[in-house]
Chains A and B, each alone.
Chain A
Amino acid sequence: MSLIRRNWLVAALLSLLAVFIAASLVIYSGLYNVAADVPHSQPVFWLLETVRERSIAVRAKDVVVPSDLDNQKRIATGAGQYAEMCAGCHLAPGMKRTEISRGLYPRAPELRRRSHSAPAEDFWVVKHGIKATGMPAWGVTHDDETLWDVVAFLRKLPELTAEEYQSLVESVPKTHGEDGHAH
């Protein structure tokens, strides 16, 4: 092996070792603050957001979106589910910010504001949840049809006034008991 090539190899190995030692120090020293009331630095936030958005986009690509998301019955049913399962974190028209919505980090997006995500991606997120956030995988306890009802409602939600939202929620029976289980 030539001297130049050997020096490059040694330099590369030493660099890898330095990165390994630095990473171990960061991990085991507890240096990084995981408190939910201290936001990530902007570079870390960008990294986590980008990883999340790309992961969802890639996995939602094959989701087949039903053609009846504008169906009023779907939207009304979805409103009921949203009120029971989602509004506490994601809020609803006319709602003040809840204690949980103020304490969650990353923040649960306020879905009453205009969303830029596609129905397939919304469905994927509702079904599978998102690791290391407060977003649960509702697919564990709810069938796909129910989740599509929620997605149908999410598309309508930014257009609703507080009164319209309340009226929609009251038009469907509750499906969750006080213990959170369906009857």
Chain B
Amino acid sequence: MRGFVPIVIGGIGLVALAGAQLALAHEAHKAECNETTMNATKADIQAMDDGEAKTAALQEMQMAEEMMAKNDMEGCTGHLHKAMEAIEE
């Protein structure tokens, strides 16, 4: 019993930590493809330092805009999320 309690507490802690990580990750995944979100993401990309992450973000953003122009919202959202992930790197 004595050894069981720390294991349970440790398990609860791990679940809480995983939940926090998912909550942070999912903030980006709530983003929808609309003009406001696209503009906000473009502003975020503008503020990035030049480098691989910015190049990747720009490419994903361009693809997101192309998908949006074709009314493929699912495709747009996918690329938008990738752009956001690149921004967070």
Q: Which residues of A contact B (CB under 8 A)?
A: 37-40, 42, 45, 96-97, 102, 105-107, 109, 113, 116
5 closest A-B pairs by CB = A107-B47, A39-B43, A39-B42, A105-B43, A38-B39
Interface footprint category on B: 10 to 19
A106 engages B43 (CB within 8 Å): yes
Interface of A is mostly: loop
* Residues of chain B contacted by A107 (CB below 8 angstroms): 43-44, 46-47
How many A-B residue pairs have C-beta atoms within 8 angstroms? Tell me: 27
The one of A39, A96, A109 that contacts B39, using a Cβ cutoff of 8 Å: A39
Instruction: Contacts A39-B42, A96-B24, A96-B27 given; indicate if A106 touches B47 (C-beta within 8 A).
Output: yes
Smallest CB–CB gap between B88 and chain A, Å?
A: 10
Within B17-48, the residues touching A (CB, 8 Å) are 24, 27, 36, 39-40, 42-44, 46-47
Q: How many Å lie between the Cα of A97 and that of B47 in the bound state?
A: 14
* Residues of chain A contacted by B49 (CB below 8 angstroms): 113, 116
A37 engages B24 (CB within 8 Å): no
Q: Which of A40, A96, A106, A107 has the most CB of B within 10 A?
A: A107
